[in-house]
Amino acid sequence: MGYLNHQQGYREGLLELRSVVKKDNYAVLTPDGLVNNVVPGFDDCDITILGSPRIGARFVDYLVTLKNNGGNTQGFGGNGIQTFIYVVYGNITVTVDGKDYDLTEGGYVYAPPHLEMTFVNNNKGQDSRVFLYKKRYQEAKGVGQPEVITGNKNDLTWKAYEGMEEVQVTDFLPADLAYDMNIHILSFKPGASHGYIETHVQEHGAYVLSGRGVYNLDNDWMPVDKGDYIFMAAYTPQATYAVGLDEEFSYIYSKDANRDIE
């Protein structure tokens, strides 16, 4: 990551960017176009803001590389903002409400809106990378209070997505009205696809964990690859085919849930 001068970029082919941004509709952000942002509270980190209200999302997603003892020890979220952290690689320690959670690859913590989280790299001098999410919590009458949720994706239950065994899905948060959103991984065997082109009120921010696919976003067919980020706004038509020979095409994504529209 970082800036290149034009000649250097041209020589290395980097001015042929795959990224596409269609505000309030969809975006594909590829790793070669990402730049570092400075965000107070994040120290010794490379941080990139991905989906955000600036492209029409009601949440914010980040990709953060934690170096040395990097992290956020000031506090992320809380005061009405719920947060979720997922380890793409490395080892980190997350603290919520005085409790420490040591996470390895695939590990995650959800912090409810009344609690902030802190986190620090714990990877013996090597970088760790996390996918980070925050969203203002939408209150609702008659529902419980969300709680801290933690675990590892390898221990989650996978099920066939809409009856298709070749597409598996997992839910990170409980099916409980206390939660106004959920985080999932959707994983497609090579050649598998959605059963139809979804068009729904919910929005998504998705980070590709493995494999590659061709994604229909508002009827534009976009190649997407491991490390890409996809924003899908409310009502954006969406479906994908997984391509490749053996690697599953999988992405972690957020989806608002369990609430009326304000």
Residues that bind ligand UGY (CB under 6 A): 186, 198, 204, 232, 238, 255
Write out the residues near Mn ion by the rule CB under 5 A.
198
CA distance 121 to 222: 34
Pairing outcome for strands 249-256 and 181-188: antiparallel
Helix (H) or strand (E) run with residue 10 in it: helix 6-11
Q: Is 257 exposed, middle or buried (0-12, 13-18, 19+ CB in 10 A)?
A: middle
Output 198 or 225, the one with its CB closest to Mn ion: 198
CB of 171 to ligand UGY, least distance (A): 10
Q: Quick count: other Cβ atoms within 10 Å of Cβ 168?
A: 18
Smallest gap from residue 142 Cβ to ligand UGY (A):
25
Cβ proximity to ligand UGY: between 135 and 204 the closer is: 204
Question: What type of residue sits at position 22?
Answer: K
* Residue 26, H or E segment: strand 26-29
Q: Which does 48 bind (CB under 5 to 8 A by kind): Mn ion, ligand UGY, none?
A: none
Contact by Cβ (8 Å): 63, 207: yes
- Least distance CB 236 / Mn ion (angstroms): 9
Q: Nearest approach, Cβ of 112 to Mn ion (angstroms)?
A: 24
The rounded distance, in Å, linking the Cα atoms of 138 and 135 is 9
177 or 239: whose CB is closer to ligand UGY?
239
Pairing label, strands 59-77, 42-49: antiparallel
With contact defined as beta carbons under 8 Å apart, do 85 and 132 qualify?
yes
Smallest gap from Cβ 193 to Mn ion, in A, equals 13
Q: Quick one: what does residue 186 bind among ligand UGY, Mn ion, none, with the CB cut-off 5 to 8 Å set by partner type?
A: ligand UGY
**Among all residues, whose Cβ is closest to Mn ion?**
198
CB of residue 255 vs ligand UGY: minimum separation in angstroms?
A: 5
The nearer residue to ligand UGY, 96 or 252, going by C-beta atoms, is 252
Nearer to Mn ion, 64 or 173 (CB): 173
Pick from ligand UGY, Mn ion, none: which does 217 bind, CB < 5 to 8 A by kind? none
CA distance 201 to 103: 33
Complex with ligand UGY: residue 120 or 242, whichever CB lies closer: 242
CA distance 145 to 149: 12
